[in-house]
Amino acid sequence: MTERQAVITGAGQGLGRAIALRFAAAGIKPLLVGRAESKLRAVADEIAALGIEAGIHALDLTNDAELAELGAALKGETVDMLVNCAGDWLIALAQDTSNDQLDHILRVNLRAPYIVSRTLLPNLRRSDNASIINIGSIVTALSVPTVTAYTAAKVGLKGLTGSLAAELRPERIRVVMISPGPADTPMRAAASPGIDKSTLVSPETIAAMAHAVISLPPGITTGDFTLHSMLFEPPD
């Protein structure tokens, strides 16, 4: 059987790392994409222990030239799964958010998944069971203050997911968004220091859901879904 290949952005830590490890445990070869090459190498070393040789591709997802290089590096290859997981956060009131901050959050969380998905379409079309998974956030389902730019980006990503799913349905390429609630990752530790860990969902649980989506039979898809701890209570 040919080895299936997954491209996972934000794979150097947090949810992207967990998804890469889960996929590798299922025999899928991940291409680890992220900013810090050292982090990607560390994850590739963990994956090597599972007997899978992961690729690494360091880039800044806000840099169009580097995004084009990713497409060039994968030219002619089959990609069975793309997981747009990389993201950045900002906690600030709308009134305090600068244009540059807004642009950055939109670029990483919305524009990059759009461009990476479009760039890798020829690769995904080579697969007989292709998936695009976009990692959203619970903010697509409930509105909370101080994350207006992030929410705008993630709700935009939800719209992109739905429209792209409709466009690609005739080609049997599924496009699904998984929207986690607070998860136990370095991002959450930085954004919510001291948070009660029982209110967090584990990266491994989210990775298992991603694996369930990509394990669906050809021609079958699912709706977008949220995934969160039942102890999570949204702030007022």
Chain residues binding ligand NAP by CB under 6 A are 10, 12-16, 34-36, 39, 60-62, 85-88, 108, 135, 137, 180, 182-183, 185-188
In angstroms, rounded to a whole number, what is the distance separating the alpha carbons of residues 118 and 80?
Answer: 14
b or e along 141-176 (b: 16 or more beta carbons within 10 Å of the residue's beta carbon)?
beeeeebbbbbbbbbbbbebbeebbeebeeeebbbb
Of 126 and 197, CB closest to ligand NAP:
197
Comparing every residue's Cβ against ligand NAP, the nearest one is 14
Q: Which of 29, 114, 154, 197 is catalytic?
A: 154
Contact at 8 Å (CB) between 15 and 128?
no
Phi, psi of 142 (to 5 degrees): -145, 140
Closest approach, Cβ 15 to ligand NAP, in A, equals 4
Catalytic residue list contains 75: no
Catalytic residue list contains 150: yes
Closest approach, Cβ 73 to ligand NAP, in A, equals 15
Closest approach, Cβ 2 to ligand NAP, in A, equals 28
Of 84 and 123, CB closest to ligand NAP:
84
Q: Which of 114, 150, 158, 197 is catalytic?
A: 150
Which residue, 180, 11, 155, 166, is CA-closest to 81?
Answer: 11
Within 8 A by CB and 6+ apart from 78, the residues are 2, 5, 123, 126, 127
* DSSP 8-state class, residue 182: S
Of 127 and 226, CB closest to ligand NAP:
226
Closest approach, Cβ 3 to ligand NAP, in A, equals 24
Of 51 and 100, CB closest to ligand NAP:
100
Question: 68 in helix, strand or coil?
Answer: helix
Catalytic (active-site) positions: 150, 154
